[in-house]
Structure 1
């Protein structure tokens, strides 16, 4: 009996050399192109020290739902608020005022307090709110 011999197929090898060459060329391209990028705007940034303390008194106007006005937890009126606020803002470096108001306060009281704060010399007027 004649034996049937199978022909051996050559083993298939996947060459990785061309793939590695392409990866190295891409790597070199991106390395060279990224080092030559220049910023569009030239800036000299100021230096600062972290954690500088500010002994500045925070100015807070509180408006209750009954229409009462408080300046830093001291009850006052809208009439005397302007003079007291001008005095406090003259001593302040930031010229910042925070207005806290009750949810059910009269809207006109808020507008009056905002107007008085701006006329007294406040540069920044913040409105306090509660996050939900």
Structure 2
């Protein structure tokens, strides 16, 4: 007595578990990249603010350290040269965002003098950096 060929089921590959694993990895990487915030300026102790927002556009970074030294895109610069250097970075007929990363211990007058210089550049929009509380 022989066995019939009808009882033998054909071989199948089930890829559903593999798809589940790939989607789980994809979700993990997407969610983890949302929490990465690039530090564009020099390391300073930013003040905290409840209404702080993350910006997702190209920007020019001006950093004022606790001792009052100024850096433009991580390069040290004097206050007198700041206006000309920023003007060279601004694209014509386009609005550029300049983010001021001022340490929380910086003298208020120093921040105002930097903002005054930057406001003289046409096409510049200013923003102050803060940590989300």
TM-score (normalizing by structure 2): 0.53
Structure with higher RCO (Cα < 8 A, 6+ apart)? 2
Matched residue pairs, number?
77
Shift of residue 70 of structure 1? Answer: 0.4
Residue 6 of structure 1 corresponds to none
Query: Deviation of residue 58 (structure 1)?
Result: 1.9
Q: Which has the higher strand share?
A: 2
Task: Provide the residue aligned with 1:125 in structure 2.
Answer: 126
Who is 2:114 aligned against? 113
Aligned to 1:88: 89
Q: Deviations over 1:59-105 (max 9, x none)?
A: 01100110100000000010111110111114583321111100000
CA change 1:131–1:57 in 2 (3 A) is: closer
Structure of higher CA gyration radius: 1
Helix, strand or coil for the counterpart of 2:84? helix
Rounded Cα–Cα distance in structure 1 between residues aligned with 2:93 and 2:67 = 29
- TM-score normalised over the length of structure 1: 0.53
- Contact preservation (8 Å) 1:57, 1:92: no
| Contact 1:86-1:120 at 8 Å conserved across structures | yes
Q: Distance in 1 between matches of 2:102 and 2:123?
A: 18
The whole-number CA distance in structure 1 between the counterparts of 2:67 and 2:99 is 19
